[in-house]
A and B are shown apart, each in its own frame.
Chain A
């Protein structure tokens, strides 16, 4: 039997709920408190496991919803990868350098620049966003943005 999208969703949530439920078994009760730390999580995870099972069973009984198709998942994966790299690099490069690179990389990925004008727009947008964000938040709104461990900038 082939699982549908909902079937996979239900199965993933069921597995996650059961695994997390397993972790709550190790939580030790305190004799001073009538309700232990695992009491509420077990209820919640029990309910979520039941509901995930319900979704799974429902998906097996009902016809699969038709997918729309034509989604550009390669671009989605690219955007996620650039964003992960941005967040991962920020503690090392600092907000300003990481943001500048992120803005340039993501703009170029979403819409590859055409000619010199296109690259100028990418560069100007990246610089302006970084500079405005930095001065607005650090100078005016008193939010200390991350400095880079490698760059100290």
Chain B
């Protein structure tokens, strides 16, 4: 395994792969620093540029975006008190107060180095567990796959949003999208309403791009012309000089907290659709609970910054595990990666590591190297990234929409995908306005075909429905599916009794 990893790192050091990784990381940091632009948006913008590249080049760029984005968000969080993205909200709780106390460099670099160490710990988990988990998944038959996908969907529906019913409904809408088109067995058109280009089905990338791009952009457009605060007007670049050795020691002198919060991040990353923002806040909460001085949290304590940033970067490692071992995306960014892989004819899942070892270990290597590149980029340009808030959204949004159109069109050089993008843009915005979470929808769209194929395959092998429950792994997964829904219902009713209903669509999809 380690020989393959070393070979992967050596391979990645070739300019052919290193340049896309470095550019992706740079773009990720820039996108991360831009308030309101999530990692998903940044990776969607990068997606069309990867079509003409080799799979490993394209994936390196996307992994770079992911790592850079998770770290870039902390710049504006710490220095301006504006989270660059949802997964750096908790970083702001202590990063900004520390900056206000006259230590902006310390706040910023504590976050950057914590991201680095947290990311590397996530990398160790990624390299160490993907293979064994994939081997476990090799024992799966269609019954187990069906149950696994149902489990993923039920968990996402249960864990996102304020209402379990709306989460499940959103997932069901995703499944409905996948039944449009020819049926997988006999190729008979279903629900196409006589529209020719729907016969091939709806590919999930235009759905994902449309749903997320419009939900996010229109959400910001709604607020345009309303906000009175202009970050540009108050922008003062602070002095960020700091002793790196001192900052690194500050982090490494808290090994238990670093390990625990990184583990929290990884664990949340492994769960589908529960991404960086949940990791960031939960790790912060954990650090506060275990601290000897919880009262200091929120006033500029280093533990708050270290915990939240270590977790959101280690989370990336966890998200990559699920996609590489099971073919289930851990969040929207890995969902886009899944799309990029399928465009190149590669199917992630249990056989991925054994069939595509060069690519798999290349991904591991890109993930590990990306953190070193991120540090180098931050060392050189952190002062300048702060100026990114000056880019007006009136320029940014049209450019993003053009790239979305190009991305959808370039999937197979047809306007049909652009029309899907438009329809899904309306759907995504409508769902947000209707209070439906987007995460289950996307997972439903991604897993829908596989759920149907595995259901049909299992029933054609043996029409005994009890096999889904009596086969041990399948039965366990279905039990966990029911348990996750029951748990979510219980949690929701408890929150209602306390009068605290969780916010809608808190997931990272």
Q: Are A51 and B406 in contact (CB under 8 A)?
A: no
> SS class of chain A's interface: helix, strand, loop or mixed?
helix
Q: Are B49 and A136 in contact (CB under 8 A)?
A: yes
**8 A Cβ contacts from A21-57 to B:** 23-24, 27-28, 30, 33-35, 37-41, 44-45, 47-48, 51-52, 54-55
A140 at the interface (CB under 8 A from B): yes
Q: Are B173 and A107 in contact (CB under 8 A)?
A: no
> SS class of chain B's interface: helix, strand, loop or mixed?
helix
Which A residue sits closest to B459, measured CB to CB?
Answer: A35
A80 at the interface (CB under 8 A from B): yes
Which A residue sits closest to B444, measured CB to CB?
Answer: A44
Given contact pairs A5-B434, A146-B409, A40 touches B455 in the complex (Cβ within 8 A): yes
B422 at the interface (CB under 8 A from A): yes
Q: Write out, one digit per residue, whether chain B residues 263-304 have a CB within 8 A of any chain A CB (1) or not (0).
A: 000000000000000000000000000000000000000000
**8 A Cβ contacts from A77-100 to B:** 79-80, 83-84, 86-87, 90-91, 99
Q: Are B221 and A13 in contact (CB under 8 A)?
A: no
Option from A10, A45, A47, A110 in Cβ contact (under 8 Å) with B221 = A110
Q: Are B52 and A143 in contact (CB under 8 A)?
A: yes
Option from B48, B169, B421 in Cβ contact (under 8 Å) with A137 = B48
Q: How far is the CB of B381 from chain A (nearest CB, A)?
A: 22
Q: Which of B136-144, B233-241, B319-327, B393-401 has 4 or more CB atoms under 8 Å from chain A?
A: B393-401
Chain B interface size range:
35 or more
Q: Are B397 and A6 in contact (CB under 8 A)?
A: no
A1 at the interface (CB under 8 A from B): no
Chain A interface size range:
35 or more
Q: Are B49 and A141 in contact (CB under 8 A)?
A: yes
CA distance A92 to B375 in the complex (A): 47
B456 at the interface (CB under 8 A from A): yes
Q: Are B406 and A91 in contact (CB under 8 A)?
A: no
The interface residues of chain B lying within 8 Å CB-to-CB of A145 are 406, 409
The interface residues of chain B lying within 8 Å CB-to-CB of A6 are 163, 166, 434-435
Q: How far is the CB of A95 from chain B (nearest CB, A)?
A: 8
Q: Are B165 and A51 in contact (CB under 8 A)?
A: yes
9 contacts between A and B (CB under 8 A): A9-B436, A35-B185, A48-B172, A54-B165, A83-B425, A84-B422, A141-B51, A143-B410, A144-B413
Chain B residues in the interface with A (C-beta under 8 A): 48-49, 51-53, 162-163, 165-166, 168-169, 172-173, 175-176, 179, 183, 185-186, 188, 190-191, 193, 217-218, 221-226, 392-395, 397-399, 401-403, 405-406, 409-410, 413, 415, 418-419, 421-422, 425-426, 429, 433-436, 448, 452, 455-456, 459-460, 463
